[in-house]
């Protein structure tokens, strides 16, 4: 049984609740356990994963959050840098599922976050578990 850490950027509560529900359901259905920590925004998700990885308490990580395009360039920075940070950690050998949604509007976010629709929280958890299995295979 693996222990996963879900790191959520809780900015849009109603959207994060949906992402969390999907991720937790997938992890529990696979027979694993999880904890959840909250960070202020998507840019902080990779940092929290890095800090947690130093503890050695977790086998895999799921990053969750929602970034909705606004009127400024900030969207591109947050979307790109959060993804880059998680990718760098995965290249260092961490098993991570990236469930940070980067969307144009709330309607797109709802469709992707709802567990009965695109279930991106659940997909991120599945990705983390798949990478964990792959790491074990190559160990």
User: Known catalytic residues?
Assistant: 74
Cα–Cα nearest to 86, from 76, 78, 97, 75: 97
77 labelled binding-site residue = no
Nearest Cα residue to 122 out of 99, 106, 102? 99
User: Is 35 part of any known ligand binding site?
Assistant: no
* Cα–Cα distance measured from residue 19 to residue 59, given in angstroms and rounded to the nearest whole number: 20
72 is in an annotated binding site: yes
Instruction: Give the SS3 label for residue 28.
Output: helix
Is 10 annotated to bind ligand?
no
For residue 39, say whether it is annotated as part of any ligand binding site: no
Calculate Rg over the CA atoms of the chain. Answer: 14
Q: Is 62 annotated as a binding residue?
A: no
66 is in an annotated binding site: yes
Is 71 marked within a binding site? yes
Contacts (Cβ under 8 Å, ≥6 apart) of 112? 101, 103, 118, 120
Helix (H, G, I), strand (E, B) or coil at 49: helix
Q: Which residues are known binding-site members?
A: 11, 42-44, 66-68, 71-72, 98, 112
Q: Which residues are known binding-site members for 5-amino-6-(D-ribitylamino)uracil?
A: 11, 42-44, 66-68, 98
Q: Which residues are known binding-site members for (2S)-2-hydroxy-3-oxobutyl phosphate?
A: 71-72, 112
């Amino acid at each position: 049984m693996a222990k996963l850490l879900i790191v959520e950027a809780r900015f849009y509560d109603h959207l994060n609740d949906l992402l969390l529900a999907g991720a937790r359901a997938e992890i529990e259905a696979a027979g694993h356990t999880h904890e959840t920590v909250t960070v202020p925004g998507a840019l902080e998700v990779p940092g929290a994963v890095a800090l947690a990885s130093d503890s050695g308490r977790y086998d895999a990580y799921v990053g969750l959050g929602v970034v909705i395009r606004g009127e400024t360039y900030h969207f591109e920075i947050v979307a790109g840098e959060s993804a880059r940070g998680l990718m760098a950690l995965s290249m260092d050998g961490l098993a991570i599922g990236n469930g940070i949604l980067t969307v144009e509007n709330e309607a797109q976010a709802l469709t992707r976050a709802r567990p009965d629709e695109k279930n991106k929280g659940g997909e991120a958890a599945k990705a983390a578990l798949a990478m964990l299995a792959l790491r074990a295979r190559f160990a």
